[in-house]
């Protein structure tokens, strides 16, 4: 089905919508308006008014009589009566009267009039409109100012000059792509020996990890032209535009081969179709055109198509078939070393104070992609410039990294003293529990400056980056999440606990349920998948009976209650530490890791 490039938009879909609206209007609104103006009277009144000559006009219909009052000009209606003398009386009274020409309506005729005719008119109009607006040539000249054709910025000269060395980390991806670079240097070498190259390669990875950069770098290294388009552009485009743009893109690319064609966010056009009525037709047409183009040229023609996506599994299988995007190159989130390298690449033409340590920033920024890191350095530079400094300091970068991660600081918001106090105890509670548990994470920073939705936050960092998480890790994490609520309860009392713990509770609960139902971390159930996706499942589903469901709830509750009790116990035992950390926090608003450790190690507290 997807292969058919002549696939038309489901105009019937629009037709039905219009028809439904019209019918509804007809039934609801029109009679309502009319009814409001017509006054109903009984037949006797009609007769009396006729005799008195108060009627100017009568219209005898099949099911009622409409008549107009002479003096008031009001339209009246009354029911039909078997009244043979009516016409004589009306004639004598000098009333102008008429009756409908009664015809036996043929059901066929009425069907044609009420259904087929509007359909035909609608189809005619629809075709006219879509031809006018979306036809490629008239589109260019009439309304889009050439956007459909080459007005789209699809051609970027390779002299933009991005090289592999500009892309930090991602060694594996780069290695995979070197072959392509070599091929683009000299396609005939591969052609002569009979080696067939892939036509399309999928760059698979989260946003901001450098997929576009890598594609540009392939073009840069091979010194060939780079054409690009983005899948998301097409979804909002007018009918027919996407397909025509794809056609133009490939026409240009073939003329300039060897070259790179890069399609960003290919999932926007290449999503698996979900079979719903009236899906995005523009998307399908664009996709079909792309498939047609890919099938239409030889494997060794020198046009190499790179496409980026975060979700290769969500792509239509037609796209990943052999001869299309049949090869994948994974572009990963950077690890700590990668993050440091990326920071250094982007630090090249910026000035830094001697205290700047990219290792520390790299450690803090686990989970951030290259784009975020580039953003941090830029934000840091802005902060330094705003403060009138000539060098970017570590403090600038710390602030910038938090800004990038959590959204801008809300310094202007005035916070009530009691809320400050609650926040301080709450955050200190998280930190103290973390420290006493002595698990795999260490407190990097505690702060009570609100950021994003959080009133304050405690940032634990892994002592070393691990690939796996242990059961112990999760047990500790749950207790640490509850450290905030537990501190509130101990200090302010059971009925003074606040909403400040809402996201902590959410996250702890998610961990507990995950442990029980998905990762087999309880003795009660053992290693079994109770809730999740098995091979072939589209969505997460429950693999348990109702009775087991109750047991799961009990087990989740037990894990959470134990974690909460653990937090309470720790903070009761170390209440003096909790107080000490809170005191410093209230003074300084922010405590960094080493200072926190010092407080915890101080034997006099
Ligand atoms: P994607 O296409 O994967 O969404 P981009 O290639 O558009 O990501 O990356 C956006 C920006 O992030 C780049 O312009 C670059 O500044 C920065 N960036 C991302 N990854 C890296 C990396 N590995 N090395 C250097 N800079 C990177
Ligand atoms: Zn909290």
Q: Whose CA is nearest to atom 11 of ligand 1?
A: 371
Give phi and psi for 535, each to the nearest 5: -50, 130
Ligand 1 closest atom vs CA 331 = 3
From the number of C-beta atoms within 10 Å of its C-beta (0-12, 13-18, 19+), residue 63 rates as: exposed
CA of 487 to the centre of ligand 2 (A): 10
**Token couple for 599:** 């407080």
Give the DSSP letter string of 345-408.
HHHTTS-B-TT--HHHHHHHTTT--HHHHHHHHHHHHHHHHHTT-SSB-HHHHHHHHHHHHH-S
Ligand 1 closest atom vs CA 168 = 24
Is 427 a catalytic site residue? Answer: yes
CA of 604 to the centre of ligand 2 (A): 27
520 has a pLDDT exceeding 90: yes
CA of 423 to the centre of ligand 2 (A): 8
- Residue length of the chain: 605
For 310, 359, 397, the CA distances from 377, given in Å and listed in that order, are 25, 14, 7
CA dist., res. 46 & res. 85, Å (int): 13
CA dist., res. 486 & res. 481, Å (int): 9
Q: Whose CA is nearest to atom 6 of ligand 1?
A: 210
Give the mean pLDDT of 61-89: 78
For residue range 174-209, what is the model confidence (pLDDT) as tens digits? 988 998 898 888 888 888 888 878 889 999 988 889
3-state SS class at 330: strand
The whole-model pTM stands at 0.54
Ligand 1 closest atom vs CA 215 = 6
Do residues 399 and 363 lie in contact, with contact meaning Cβ atoms separated by under 8 Å? no
CA 290 to chain centre: 24
Give the closest ligand to the alpha carbon of residue 369.
1
Do residues 253 and 286 lie in contact, with contact meaning Cβ atoms separated by under 8 Å? no
Q: Give me the pLDDT at residue 527, please.
A: 94
311 has a pLDDT exceeding 70: yes
How many beta carbons lie within 10 A of that of residue 86, not counting itself?
19
CA 490 to chain centre: 41
Give the closest ligand to the alpha carbon of residue 508.
2
3-state SS class at 100: coil
Give the closest ligand to the alpha carbon of residue 424.
2
Report the pocket of ligand 1 as residue ranges, CB < 6 Å.
167-170, 205, 207-213, 308, 342, 345, 370-371, 374
For residue range 380-419, what is the model confidence (pLDDT) as tens digits? 999 999 999 999 999 999 999 888 877 655 444 456 778 8
Q: Give me the pLDDT at residue 119, please.
A: 76
Catalytic residue among 221, 284, 293, 427: 427
For 476, 528, 559, 568, the CA distances from 556, given in Å and listed in that order, are 15, 15, 5, 18
Q: Above pLDDT 70, what percent of the chain?
A: 82
For residue range 568-578, what is the model confidence (pLDDT) as tens digits? 999 999 999 99
Give the closest ligand to the alpha carbon of residue 169.
1
Q: With residue 170 as reference, give the H or E element that holds it.
A: none
CA of 460 to the centre of ligand 1 (A): 27
Ligand 1 closest atom vs CA 207 = 4
Do residues 192 and 364 lie in contact, with contact meaning Cβ atoms separated by under 8 Å? no
Ligand 1 closest atom vs CA 345 = 25
CA of 439 to the centre of ligand 2 (A): 18
441-447 and 457-462: which strand pairing?
Answer: antiparallel
Q: Whose CA is nearest to atom 5 of ligand 1?
A: 210
Whether the upstream peptide bond of residue 258 has omega within 30° of 0, thus cis, is yes
The Cβ-side half-sphere exposure at 507, using a 13 Å CA radius, reads: 16
Q: With residue 64 as reference, give the H or E element that holds it.
A: strand 64-69
Q: Would you give the DSSP letter of residue 150? A: I
The interaxial angle of helices 370-386 and 336-347, nearest 10 deg, is 50
Give the mean pLDDT of 291-300: 80
CA dist., res. 430 & res. 455, Å (int): 14
CA dist., res. 122 & res. 114, Å (int): 13
**Token couple for 456:** 């304050």
Residue recorded with tokens 């396609």: 187
Give the closest ligand to the alpha carbon of residue 446.
2
CA dist., res. 174 & res. 197, Å (int): 17
The winner for highest mean pLDDT among 285-289, 321-325, 437-441, 511-515 is 511-515
CA of 589 to the centre of ligand 2 (A): 15
276 has a pLDDT exceeding 70: no
Residue from 213, 217, 369 to probe ligand 1 pocket by mutation (most atoms less than 8 Å from CB): 213
**Token couple for 256:** 């300039």
Q: How confident is the model at residue 135 (pLDDT cuts 50, 70, 90)?
A: very low
- Residue 530: which of 512, 547, 548 has the closest Cα? 548
Radius of gyration of the chain (CA): 37
Residue from 263, 370, 373 to probe ligand 1 pocket by mutation (most atoms less than 8 Å from CB): 370
How many beta carbons lie within 10 A of that of residue 579, not counting itself?
14
Residue recorded with tokens 């990875």: 205
**Token couple for 374:** 């580039």
Ligand 1 closest atom vs CA 205 = 3
For residue range 448-505, what is the model confidence (pLDDT) as tens digits? 876 656 778 888 888 887 889 999 999 999 999 999 999 999 999 999 999 999 999 9
Do residues 241 and 284 lie in contact, with contact meaning Cβ atoms separated by under 8 Å? no
Do residues 309 and 263 lie in contact, with contact meaning Cβ atoms separated by under 8 Å? no
The Cβ-side half-sphere exposure at 238, using a 13 Å CA radius, reads: 15
Alpha helices (H) along 81-210? 86-92, 107-111, 117-134, 136-141, 171-185, 187-193
Q: Whose CA is nearest to atom 18 of ligand 1?
A: 370
Give phi and psi for 129, each to the nearest 5: -65, -45
């Amino acid at each position: 089905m997807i292969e058919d490039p002549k696939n038309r938009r489901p105009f019937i879909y629009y037709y039905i919508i219009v028809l439904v609206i019209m019918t509804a209007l007809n039934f609801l609104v029109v009679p309502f308006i009319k009814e409001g103006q017509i006054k109903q009277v009984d037949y006797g009144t009609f007769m009396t008014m006729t005799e008195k000559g108060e009627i100017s006009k009568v219209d005898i219909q099949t099911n009622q009589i409409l008549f107009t009052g002479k003096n008031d000009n009001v339209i009246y209606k009354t029911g039909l009566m078997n009244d043979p003398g009516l016409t004589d009386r009306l004639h004598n009274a000098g009333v102008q009267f008429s009756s409908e020409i009664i015809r036996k309506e043929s059901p066929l005729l009425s069907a044609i009039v009420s259904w087929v005719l509007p359909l035909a008119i609608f189809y005619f109009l629809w075709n006219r409109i879509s031809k006018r607006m979306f036809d490629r040539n008239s589109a260019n000249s009439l309304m889009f100012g050439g956007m459909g054709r080459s007005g789209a910025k699809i051609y970027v000269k390779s002299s933009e000059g991005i090289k592999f060395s500009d892309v930090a980390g991602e060694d594996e991806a780069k290695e995979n792509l070197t072959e392509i670079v070599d091929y683009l240097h000299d396609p005939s070498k591969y052609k002569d020996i009979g080696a067939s190259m892939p036509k399309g390669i999928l760059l698979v990875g989260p946003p901001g990890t450098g997929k576009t950069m890598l594609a540009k770098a392939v073009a840069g290294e091979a010194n060939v032209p780079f054409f690009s388009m983005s899948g998301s552009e097409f979804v909002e485009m007018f009918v027919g535009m996407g397909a025509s743009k794809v056609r133009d893109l490939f026409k240009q690319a073939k003329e300039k081969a060897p070259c790179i064609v890069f399609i960003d966010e290919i999932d926007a056009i290449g999503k698996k179709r979900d079979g719903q009525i009236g899906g995005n037709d523009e998307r399908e047409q664009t996709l079909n055109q792309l498939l047609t183009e890919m099938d239409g040229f030889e494997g060794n023609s020198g046009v190499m198509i790179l496409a980026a996506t975060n979700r290769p599994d969500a792509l239509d299988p037609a796209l990943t078939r052999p001869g299309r995007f049949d090869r994948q190159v994974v572009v990963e989130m950077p690890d700590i070393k990668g993050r440091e390298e990326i920071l250094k690449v982007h630090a090249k033409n910026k000035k830094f104070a001697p205290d700047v340590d990219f290792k520390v920033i790299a450690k803090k920024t686990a989970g951030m992609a290259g784009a975020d890191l580039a953003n941090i350095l830029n934000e840091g530079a802005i902060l330094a410039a705003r403060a009138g400094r000539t060098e970017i300091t570590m403090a600038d970068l710390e602030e910038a990294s938090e800004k990038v991660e959590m959204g801008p600081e809300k310094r202007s918001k005035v916070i009530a003293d009691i809320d400050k106090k609650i926040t301080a105890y709450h955050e200190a509670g998280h930190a103290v529990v973390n420290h006493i548990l002595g698990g795999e994470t260490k407190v990097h920073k505690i702060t009570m400056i609100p950021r994003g939705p959080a009133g304050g936050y405690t940032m634990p960092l892994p002592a070393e980056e691990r690939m796996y998480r242990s059961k112990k890790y999760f047990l500790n994490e749950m207790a640490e999440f509850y450290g905030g609520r537990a501190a509130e309860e101990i200090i302010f009392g059971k009925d003074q606990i606040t909403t400040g713990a809402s996201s902590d509770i959410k996250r702890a609960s998610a961990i507990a349920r995950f442990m029980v139902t998905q990762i087999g971390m309880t003795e009660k159930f053992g290693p079994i998948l109770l809730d999740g996706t098995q091979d072939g499942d589209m969505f997460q589903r429950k693999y348990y009976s109702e009775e087991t469901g109750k047991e799961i709830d009990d087990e989740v509750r037990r894990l959470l209650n134990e974690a909460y009790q653990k937090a309470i116990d720790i903070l009761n035992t170390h209440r003096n530490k909790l107080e000490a950390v809170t005191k410093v926090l209230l003074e300084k608003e922010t405590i960094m890791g080493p200072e926190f450790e010092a407080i915890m190690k101080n034997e006099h507290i």
